[in-house]
Amino acid sequence: MNNVGTCGATRAIEARGLRLAAWEWGARERPAMLLLHSLAAHSHWWDGMAALLEDTFHIVALDFRGHGHSGHAMLPAYHFVDYVADVIAGLDVLGWRAPIVVGHSMGAYVGSMLAARHTERVGALVIGDMLTGWTDAMSERARVMAERPAPAFANLDEAGARFRLTPPETRAPAGVLRHLAETGIVERDGAFTFAFDRHVFLHPPLDPWSFLSRIRCPALVIRGESSVVMPREAGERVTAVLQQGSFVEVKDAWHHVILDDPAAFADAVSRWLVDMQKGDLR
C-alpha cells in the first residue's frame, strides 16, 4: 500500500519562547488526538496514518523542538522534560485538556512521561515501539551522531535518493521514504540538509521503568512483529507494568511500524478505543 497520505493543514504554536510547527487534520469538534514523532524525525511520518483517521478525530501532529520545522533550542534544552513541557504548552494553546496521545519511539517515551507526571493531561495513551533500555554504547553512538557534520545535498532528488531510516529495516514503499526526505529537508547557505538539529541526539539516558507504573489512563502498547528496538518481551513487560495496559503486534512490521503498515496501526488504535468505550479492555 503506497499510503503517503496528506500533509494536513499547517499550524504554528508558540511555546516557551519557541515556535513549534504542527499539522492538523479533521474537524475540530471531533475527539482530539495528538501525534508525537520519533527522534530525528518529524510530523510527516504520521501523514499516512492521519489520513486514515481524520474522518473520526481532530488530529494534530507536533514537531518537537529541534525537529522538522520547529525552532532550535539553546543547549542543553533537548531533554525529555523539555519536550514534555512543550507538549503541555501546545495542549494549552490548542485548548485540549486530555486528548488521546499517540507516540512512536521517542514520541512514545515523551507521551508516557507526560501521562505519568501530568495524569490529568492524557485521556488515553498509545505507546508505539518504544525503546526501554539504555547502555553506555548508546550514549557514545549518540555523541558521535551529534558531532557528525550534517550532510549536504545538491537538490531534493539527491536528498531523497540518499535518505535512510535508522534502524534501516522497513517495508515502507519508496514513495513514502522519498516523502519523508522531502518534507524533512531545508535549504541553508545554498545547499539542502536535514532540518533537525543534530544536538537532539544528546538527550539524557532513558529509563521508562521509573515512571511507567504511574500512568493511570488506558494505554495501548503497539510493536512491530520484527522490531529490534522493542522486543516482544519488552512490550509485554511494559504492558504488565501499566495500570490499564493492552498489547498489540503488527505482523510483518519492523520498528518503523507507522510507516511499514499505517493501516494496521490505525486499525489497532481504533479497535482499542472502541473497546475502551465499551468497557471491553482486558
* Number of other residues whose CB lies within 10 A of the CB of residue 127: 32
List Cβ neighbours of 24 (8 Å cut-off, separation of 6 or more): 8, 9, 10, 11, 58, 59, 60, 61
* Rounded distance between C-alpha atoms, residue 240 and residue 212, angstroms: 10
Per-residue confidence band for 6, with pLDDT thresholds at 50, 70 and 90: confident
pLDDT in tens, 126-166: 999 999 999 999 999 999 999 999 999 998 889 888 899 99
List Cβ neighbours of 136 (8 Å cut-off, separation of 6 or more): none
pLDDT in tens, 204-225: 999 999 999 999 999 999 999 9
- Residue scoring higher pLDDT (7 or 2): 7
Measuring CA to CA, which residue among 88, 89, 98 is closest to residue 121? 98
Residue 29, C-alpha cell as written in the block: 469538534
Domain annotation for the chain: domains and CATH numbers: 9-146+198-278 (3.40.50.1820)
* Rounded distance between C-alpha atoms, residue 209 and residue 196, angstroms: 28
Residue 245 CA: distances (Å) to CA of 57, 94, 143, 209, 256: 22, 27, 34, 14, 21
